[in-house]
């Protein structure tokens, strides 16, 4: 199969020919239809504490068609269009049986050193992580499910309730997904903040009732309170840079909740007194479970399809390395999809 291989920091992804994957027991192989480029993949190809050990085929936001079944797989068949959580668990432990293979002690993470990911013509996944796509949904929709599920999990961690005032810090795909789910959860007002207004139309399309272009903590807190009609009940931090936790604490109401979804790869500091004085809850959120993946599929199938606006480009495997590198700088792109068979 053709695949994009990360060979080292500072090098573009290389288009190479690799062996096709073979499904083991409890596994299936997909013909990849779409795979989204994620900021996590960019982080993991840079010098930091999270850098991949090459060679690695990245890509964990994918959807496709089942082309091979391993031993013991039930309820799935070749030709099915599915999306899947990017983990292969043992299928027998408490975490796997609860639909949470991310916490399986022996899990393999797809798109990492563990197992080749979706920047390829084929990818191997765990049968227990597979979810069929309804006929009305496209493979693009299927590849959006993973980032949408990250946002959903964060909103659930924040306990967003009908009538809540929610501030989302960051207007990348995860911030936009969080805004989408906050509105579907019944938030009365949802403000999205970013340093510039270039993502404002997308944020509004995803459900934001206000957009704030502010980079100063005090200015954001004041603008957020005005836009929301009061201090935020829940603040969802979706940037992942130093200083963002302090910024979120400055914006949340007394007794409110801050949820960190952003991946910050450097040590950070914040003033505990800010949270202490407000008795604010500080929570962290990572990935999702099978039920949350299904909830994303159900929402899209029910017609809540505004996330489609996040897809700003689709590229072939040949063109993907240049598109990948371009995303390291500020760009008009939001979610770029790789189409391995284009």
The helix (H) or strand (E) run that includes residue 123 is strand 122-126
Of 22, 43, 51, 209, catalytic: 43
Helix (H, G, I), strand (E, B) or coil at 293: helix
- The gap between the terminal CA atoms of the chain, to the nearest Å, is 14
CB of 232 within 8 A of CB of 224?
Answer: yes
304 assigned to active site: no
Of 40, 45, 110, 209, catalytic: 40
Structure tokens at 132: 């069929």
43 assigned to active site: yes
What DSSP state is assigned to residue 110?
Answer: B
Structure tokens at 265: 């790869």
Instruction: Encode burial over 128-141: b for 16+ CB neighbours within 10 A, e otherwise.
Output: bbbbbbeeebbbbb
d(CA 154, CA 168): 11
CA 200 to chain centre: 19
Give the active site residues.
40, 43
């Amino acid at each position: 199969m053709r695949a994009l291989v990360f060979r080292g920091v500072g090098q573009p992804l290389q288009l190479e020919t690799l062996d096709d994957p073979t499904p083991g027991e409890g596994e299936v192989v997909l013909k990849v239809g779409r795979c989204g480029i994620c900021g996590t993949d960019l982080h993991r190809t840079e010098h930091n504490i999270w850098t991949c050990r090459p060679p690695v085929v990245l890509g964990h936001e994918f959807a496709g068609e089942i082309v091979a079944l391993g031993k013991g797989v039930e309820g799935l068949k070749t030709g099915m269009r599915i999306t899947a959580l990017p983990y292969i668990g043992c299928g027998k432990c408490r975490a796997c049986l609860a639909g949470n293979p991310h916490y399986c002690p022996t899990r393999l993470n797809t798109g990492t050193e563990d197992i080749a990911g979706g920047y390829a013509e084929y990818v191997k996944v765990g049968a227990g992580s597979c979810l069929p796509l309804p006929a009305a949904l496209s493979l693009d929709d299927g590849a959006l499910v993973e980032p949408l599920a990250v946002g959903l999990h964060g909103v659930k961690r924040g306990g967003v309730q009908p009538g809540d005032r929610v501030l989302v810090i960051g207007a990348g795909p995860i911030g936009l997904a969080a805004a989408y789910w906050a509105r579907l959860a019944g938030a009365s007002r949802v403000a999205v903040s970013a340093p510039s207004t270039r993502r404002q139309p997308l944020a509004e399309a995803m459900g934001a009732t206000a957009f704030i272009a502010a980079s100063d903590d005090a200015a954001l807190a004041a603008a957020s309170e005005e836009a929301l009609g009061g201090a935020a009940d829940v603040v969802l931090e979706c940037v992942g840079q130093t200083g963002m936790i302090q910024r979120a604490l400055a914006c949340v109401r007394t007794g409110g909740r801050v949820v960190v979804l952003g991946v910050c790869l450097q040590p950070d500091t914040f003033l505990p007194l800010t949270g202490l004085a407000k008795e604010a809850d500080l929570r962290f959120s990572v990935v999702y479970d099978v039920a949350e993946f299904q909830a994303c599929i159900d929402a899209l199938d029910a017609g809540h399809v505004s996330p489609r606006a996040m897809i700003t480009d689709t590229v072939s495997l040949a063109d993907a390395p240049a598109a990948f590198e371009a995303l390291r700088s500020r760009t008009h792109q939001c979610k770029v999809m790789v189409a391995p068979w284009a």
